[in-house]
Structure 1
């Protein structure tokens, strides 16, 4: 099945491939958010485990799918070769740092709001937070598909499909983790699902833009891959991991992180 998917993506336009892949990641977010129709509450241990899994996938994807290929395809030797990855990684983190300080948003626990002060409803702020997190995920998938089409060594269709699959897997629990807090805010199940899945609609947009940018400006690929990695690591360290430390289930979150890392690593090595 996976081999057939890879073969199909090899035959279509890379921008279209990026669109299809990120629609898949959005779909799994929507599927996860749909669990709100079947559950009344979310156990905190389950939430922490899910968030830990999300963090593990994102960290593994940042290295195996983005940073390592970015370094491999960079010119030069020694310290010169790592410059594009270092610069891109820093810029990605700075980009998310800027969004974090400017864009009004609210953490999943509904206790801490960040960004510019605004009268917007708490529900809107939570959706903006998750939307902000999904930008680097969609960008990473699109950039990798664009790199394959540009013929860069180290970028493969299998690796791009593995990344999309890994992002999709962690989007499933993320969708549930967004929809349930909205339900606790007394939104209807339908509205909780609609808002939960809407947070991932930015991924197809970012994916298409990422693929287009790499195809248009080929030399930026090592920087673009590392940019996406830096943005993803910023999200994990600044948002995901601290959220798992709010209660007594830190060990569950840690094991979820380990599991997510192993699965993403296996997908990338096995398919890439």
Structure 2
């Protein structure tokens, strides 16, 4: 099993640009980030500073989120918002440009929350077009776009693996895959093991955190080792993202404990 560290949630006390080096110092050779900029289209100097921080750390940027809007305010993506379709398209160009420089394999696209003033059908039609654009752009550098069920925000419409796969089917692109986050699925009442069994051929990326709490494996009730063995047996051979909020003194200690996947 290969691991990549989500630096947007791990190392929360470090400046963002110091986190790739911290991941390398902890023994990892791969990282991923949520969208690391305040703006959907940051300036060239911001992009260059981010690329330099990752490259100088000697790690690969395996994953990068497209812009998700104002996440602290509750936004979870903009790709289904027809008023922001051009903003999303511009962001895709920037994100894929970064990925081309850093060897990125996947780009996570959050659907976006429902808007009370919009017909859900209009939002989903916008999402289909945006996801097609994103997946085509990712494919140009040999990567894929990813779509993720998310917990914690009632207005976010994709809560189960089935919800996300139904949207994948509407887009119909071989370059758009399911991001299977066992924490989000479990919190939403979906069964991660059953989701793996049903959708093994659609999984493009795997993220882990324990539930409840979203801490590292062993701090909750999820059978993380069994789930990783299941997804590997189903044919997934990509990196597994450590996307959790550290709650112990050694957030990576579970990797060396007996019975942990390695």
Question: TM-score, normalization: structure 2?
Answer: 0.29
Higher helix share: 1
- Whose RCO is larger (CA < 8 A, sep 6+)? 1
Question: TM-score, normalization: structure 1?
Answer: 0.28
